[in-house]
């Protein structure tokens, strides 16, 4: 059956199974041909494993030298009479097939990572497939809602500013246009709820659960992913609700790190580069920055996608055979170092100021951003026959 992309605003409504598999294969091929990670990370649990940074971590660790076995948790939908299902569904299937064909364990658990049911399924999978312990936990969930425990209610995140409202342009990927958006300031409640959803509480609960079950191996390590960005985006990100949630996540890394001392374990945050993922295109008034950043970083030969970032994390930010990464004083591993170089940011600021709804297709990298967005859902992938 021929499948064409259906986009509503910035949300993809369908996915192309063969295209998703091809995109996973491209990432596998990239890490196979890149310098190989020397550190063996045998048993890895990834929360948020089906797309973006979580999937790229899984691929980098399995096929990039560490030869990891993985349990991946994600929240995805399979095909039904209502539609094709989500890209992550097909990414999971493709990843498992490629991993199994090379002898790696790859268990997919599809369910709500916040639920007790999913936690039980993970505990059971660790016992069944990993001999009862995990060496590395990667926390890469990106979601707008988190269920309140023992309740029918939810915390909902709000992507808003704090105190001062902000106006800016947002890409409408459905109609290929930039539209003016006004981002209002969050209430105290909205800030608290966003911290509940995207802060560190759930990460710490996962680590506490694994510790309580005796499922953290000696020298157990955990990593979570974050974004800071340049001053240009502070109003909408770093100083906004998402930034406050991320700051909570960063503080949680220190708490977890202390919790892991008896195991000689550690917790770090990898601060990544701004990229096109299902989660990031959703941030209002962020698009002009992304469009300018892609243009500048590509022209300078510094552009990376999720897989290049995750390969750099495990290959360059960890010394060979060491679990101690190159990090700053706050336990942050700066994968945004290239993005934040002053010469990059100078050019980004200059281009950012010139972007308008009339010229953005000519002067920015809208084409690249749109192609990446389509690729997330298995479309616009080289070598895939979309005619059938
Ligand atoms: P993504 O949307 O590509 O992936 C999110 C993953 O979380 C998917 O596997 C999804 O299935 C899973 N997920 C969501 N809700 C779930 C639930 N309730 N239960 C189980 N699984 C669930 O997101 P992306 O962009 O890879 O984000 C991952 C992390 O990286 C986030 O913490 C994000 O803030 C961070 N990050 C993202 C950047 C970007 O530009 N995309 C930049 C820097 C950091």
Domain residues for 326? 7-148+195-282+305-337
User: In the block, which residue shows the tokens 């700051």?
Assistant: 247
Binning pLDDT at 50, 70 and 90, where does residue 49 land?
A: very high
Ligand 1: does its nearest atom lie under 6 Å from the Cβ of 112?
yes
Q: What pLDDT, on the 0 to 100 scale, is given for residue 54?
A: 98
Q: Write the burial class of residue 36 (CB in 10 Å: 0-12 exposed, 13-18 middle, 19+ buried).
A: middle
**3-class DSSP string for 136-182:** EEEECCCCCEEECCCCCCEEECCCCECCCCEEEEEEECCCCEEEEEE
E-strand stretches of 20-176: 43-47, 69-74, 106-110, 134-139, 145-147, 154-156, 166-172
Q: What pLDDT, on the 0 to 100 scale, is given for residue 122?
A: 98
Ligand 1: does its nearest atom lie under 6 Å from the Cβ of 142?
yes
Q: How many CB atoms lie within 10 A of CB 253?
A: 24
Question: Which one is predicted more confidently, 388 or 81?
Answer: 81
Binning pLDDT at 50, 70 and 90, where does residue 238 land?
A: very high
CB-hemisphere CA count at 13 Å for 109? Answer: 24
For residue 49, the ligand 1 atom closest to its alpha carbon is 9
Would residue 315 show up in a list of annotated catalytic residues for this protein? no
Contact assessment for residue 53 and residue 140, using Cβ atoms and an 8 Å cutoff: yes
Angstrom distance (rounded) from CA 136 to CA 153: 31
DSSP letter (8 states) at residue 343:
H
Phi-psi bin for 15: left (phi > 0), alpha (psi -120 to 50), beta? beta
Ligand 1: does its nearest atom lie under 6 Å from the Cβ of 369?
no
How many distinct structural domains can be found in the chain? 1
Angstrom distance (rounded) from CA 329 to CA 95: 36
Query: For strand 266-271 and strand 332-334, is the pairing parallel, antiparallel, or unpaired?
Result: parallel
Q: Is residue 357 included in any domain, yes or no?
A: no
Mean pLDDT of 204-208: 98
Looking at every residue in the chain, the average pLDDT score rounds to 96
Q: Is residue 190 included in any domain, yes or no?
A: no
Please tell me the distance between residue 210's alpha carbon and the centre of ligand 1 in angstroms: 21
Could you say which of 237, 268, 315, 366 is catalytic? 237
Please tell me the distance between residue 340's alpha carbon and the centre of ligand 1 in angstroms: 22
Of 55, 92, 141, best ligand 1 pocket probe by most atoms within 8 Å of the beta carbon: 141
Of 10, 51, 53, 248, best ligand 1 pocket probe by most atoms within 8 Å of the beta carbon: 53
Question: What does the block give as tokens for 243?
Answer: 């930034």
Binning pLDDT at 50, 70 and 90, where does residue 117 land?
A: very high
Please tell me the distance between residue 250's alpha carbon and the centre of ligand 1 in angstroms: 16
For residue 290, the ligand 1 atom closest to its alpha carbon is 40
Q: Is residue 163 included in any domain, yes or no?
A: no
Phi first, then psi: give them for residue 168, nearest 5 degrees: -170, 180
Question: Which one is predicted more confidently, 186 or 150?
Answer: 186
Ligand 1: does its nearest atom lie under 6 Å from the Cβ of 140?
yes
Ligand 1: does its nearest atom lie under 6 Å from the Cβ of 61?
no
Ligand 1: does its nearest atom lie under 6 Å from the Cβ of 74?
yes
We report the CATH number of the domain holding residue 20 as 3.40.50.720
Binning pLDDT at 50, 70 and 90, where does residue 278 land?
A: confident
Binning pLDDT at 50, 70 and 90, where does residue 313 land?
A: very high
Q: Is residue 369 included in any domain, yes or no?
A: no
Q: Is residue 385 included in any domain, yes or no?
A: no
Please tell me the distance between residue 387's alpha carbon and the centre of ligand 1 in angstroms: 31
Binning pLDDT at 50, 70 and 90, where does residue 349 land?
A: very high
Q: What pLDDT, on the 0 to 100 scale, is given for residue 280?
A: 87
Q: Is residue 97 included in any domain, yes or no?
A: yes
For residue 226, the ligand 1 atom closest to its alpha carbon is 44
pTM over cut 0.75: yes
Angstrom distance (rounded) from CA 207 to CA 50: 20
Nearest CA to ligand 1 atom 26: 52
Q: Is residue 178 included in any domain, yes or no?
A: no
pLDDT higher than threshold 80 for residue 154:
yes
Q: Is residue 171 included in any domain, yes or no?
A: no
Angstrom distance (rounded) from CA 243 to CA 298: 26
Phi first, then psi: give them for residue 11, nearest 5 degrees: -115, 130
Q: What pLDDT, on the 0 to 100 scale, is given for residue 218?
A: 97
């Amino acid at each position: 059956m021929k499948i064409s992309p259906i986009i509503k605003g910035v949300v993809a409504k369908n996915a192309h199974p063969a295209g998703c598999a091809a995109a996973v294969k491209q990432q596998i091929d990239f890490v196979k041909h890149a310098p190989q990670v020397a550190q063996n990370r045998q048993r890895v649990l990834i929360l948020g494993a089906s797309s973006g940074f979580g999937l790229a971590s899984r691929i980098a660790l399995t096929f990039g030298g560490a030869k990891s076995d993985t349990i991946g948790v994600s929240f995805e939908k399979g095909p039904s009479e209502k539609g094709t299902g989500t890209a992550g569904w097909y990414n999971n299937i493709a990843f498992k097939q490629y991993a199994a064909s090379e002898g790696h364990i790859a268990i997919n658990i599809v369910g709500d990572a916040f639920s007790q049911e999913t936690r039980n399924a993970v505990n059971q999978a660790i016992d069944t497939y990993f001999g009862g312990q995990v060496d590395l936990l990667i926390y890469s969930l990106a979601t707008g809602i988190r269920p309140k425990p023992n309740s029918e209610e939810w915390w909902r995140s709000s992507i808003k500013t704090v105190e001062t409202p902000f106006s800016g342009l947002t890409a409408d990927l459905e109609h290929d246009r930039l539209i003016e958006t006004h981002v209002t300031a969050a209430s105290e409640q909205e800030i608290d709820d966003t911290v509940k959803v995207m802060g560190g509480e759930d990460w710490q609960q996962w680590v506490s659960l694994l510790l309580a079950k005796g499922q953290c191996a000696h020298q157990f390590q955990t990593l979570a992913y974050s974004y800071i960005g340049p001053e240009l985006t502070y109003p909408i990100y770093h100083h906004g609700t998402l930034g406050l949630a991320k700051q909570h996540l960063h503080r949680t890394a220190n708490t977890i790190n202390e919790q892991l001392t008896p195991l000689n374990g550690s917790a770090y945050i990898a601060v990544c580069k701004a990229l096109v993922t299902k989660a990031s295109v959703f941030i209002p008034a962020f698009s002009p920055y992304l469009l300018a950043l892609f243009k500048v970083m590509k022209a300078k030969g510094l552009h990376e996608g999720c897989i290049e970032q995750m390969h750099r994390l495990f290959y360059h930010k960890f010394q060979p055979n060491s679990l101690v990464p190159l990090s700053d004083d706050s336990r942050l591993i700066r994968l945004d170092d290239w993005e934040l170089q002053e010469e990059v940011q100078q050019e980004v600021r200059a281009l950012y100021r010139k972007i308008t709804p009339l010229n953005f297709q000519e002067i920015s990298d809208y084409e690249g951003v749109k192609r990446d967005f389509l690729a997330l859902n298995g479309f616009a992938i080289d070598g895939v026959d979309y005619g059938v």
